[in-house]
Amino acid sequence: MIGKTLLDGCMEWNDVILKDVEEDGELTANRTDVAENNVDQNISKIQRNTVTVDTEGDGLPSVISLDKYKDHVPKLSDELIQGVLRVGHKMLISGPSKAGKSFLLMELCIAIATGGEWLGFPCKKGRVFYINLEIDPNSCITRFLKIYNALGITDTNDMKNIDIWNLRGHAVPLDQLVPDIIKKTKDKQYDAIILDPIYKILTGDENSATEMAKFTNQFDRICTETGCAAIYCHHHSKGAQGSKRAMDRASGSGVFARDPDAQLDIIQLELTEEQKSKLQDQNITAWRVESSLREFQNIVPVNMWFVHPIHLVDEDGTLLKSAAQGSFAAARAKNSKYTTKEERKERLDRAFQACQAEAPGENVKVEQIAKYLSVSDKTIRSYVKENEDRYCLQCGYVVKVDGVGSL
């Protein structure tokens, strides 16, 4: 090593100096200056070589040249969830509170442990380390067993591929927990580490991009030091989320959804009265999974039923045209034919306000309201004429008489 050679030279020169001191009793000022100068030069060389040549010890990866890979492409890590997530990458599952996110994560544990499918996606068979932060330990175990039973899995040999760490009542901030996670998973050959849910170990202001960047960096550390995929879930922001993009629904800073390699968002679907009447159990709910993926193309949205305690993919397309709760499409679907003037006025008011909310500060076109209500432009003009004490038409725009929304 260059650094070692220079250091040896430095030590040898010091030995010479000490020997001279012993033999002559003292060093001349000139020889002392020369000795000190040589030592300083050698130390300087060691420092320069440490920075420019020997980069080990700084805790950072080495710089690599792309030229090294011109004749061969580096091997990518295995796909843990086919077309969605690789081993060693991060995934966030976001959804509203009480949406069954924990059930979905447990189903994923079982799919990986058995090498089965999850939401229709084949999974690599492997070992999972599941960190339960929220529910009672016995309830957690019972829930896993119920899911196994509901999935119809009778072969229990693969249960050994799922290890559970119950931390309810023992959770600490993630930066303090990560070292223990690394120790617990060392040499265990896990493919995935699942943390459920992260609000229990959240540090800092979730609305601060800077603080959340520091927080999500801990997931990078888990992936880097264990080689496992880090999978975690988080809840939606308060209020209706249906009209937002999937990556904008998670609570807090946008860093949450933009940091992971894969984000899957689940949102509840609005069912028609006809669809509800056909359900054997009125507690059954309908959901849609949408994605934001870095490594792969985004998935075709997956529609599914939550039939406690498992999710079943909508194979026959019953939910294909169902709208997400809180979306403009859902609001339109709820609108039925209005026969009285008062009902038509209320309908126009709601549509006008919704279109204004969709594009704050902009004027509302006739065609926007027509599209929102799924009616013709002619119908909207008729509504406006019928409510001329509240609205008027100006150059194709609907304008409130009181000035709100005026051109």
Rounded alpha-carbon distances, angstroms, from residue 272 to 76, 304, 322, 325, 394? 45, 16, 8, 12, 36
What does pLDDT average to over the chain? 82
Instruction: List pLDDT tens digits, range 99-118.
Output: 899 999 999 999 999 999 99
Does 43 have pLDDT greater than 70? no
Task: Report which of residues 67 and 21 the model is more confident about.
Answer: 67
Tell me the pLDDT band of 42, cut-offs 50, 70 and 90: very low
- Residue 144: name the closest of 125, 123, 124, 166 by CA: 166
d(CA 314, CA 304): 5
pLDDT of residue 44: 36
Tell me the pLDDT band of 335, cut-offs 50, 70 and 90: low
CA angle 373, 377, 379 (to 5 degrees): 70
State which amino acid sits at residue 102. Answer: S
pLDDT of residue 285: 94
Dihedral over Cα of 61, 66, 72, 77: its sign: positive
DSSP lists the bridge partners of residue 284 as none
Beta strands 262-268 and 391-394 are unpaired
Instruction: List pLDDT tens digits, range 242-284.
Output: 767 767 777 777 777 789 999 999 999 999 888 888 898 889 9
Tell me the pLDDT band of 93, cut-offs 50, 70 and 90: very high
pLDDT of residue 332: 61
pLDDT of residue 234: 85
Residue pair 405/352 in contact by the 8 Å Cβ criterion? yes
Instruction: List pLDDT tens digits, range 172-228.
Output: 999 999 999 999 999 999 999 999 998 898 888 888 888 888 989 999 999 999 999
d(CA 184, CA 178): 10
d(CA 208, CA 255): 9
Least confident of 32-41, 65-74, 327-336: 32-41
- Residue 322: name the closest of 375, 369, 376, 276 by CA: 276
Q: Residue 268: which residues within 8 A CB-CB, separation 6 or more?
A: 96, 99, 285, 286, 287, 324, 325
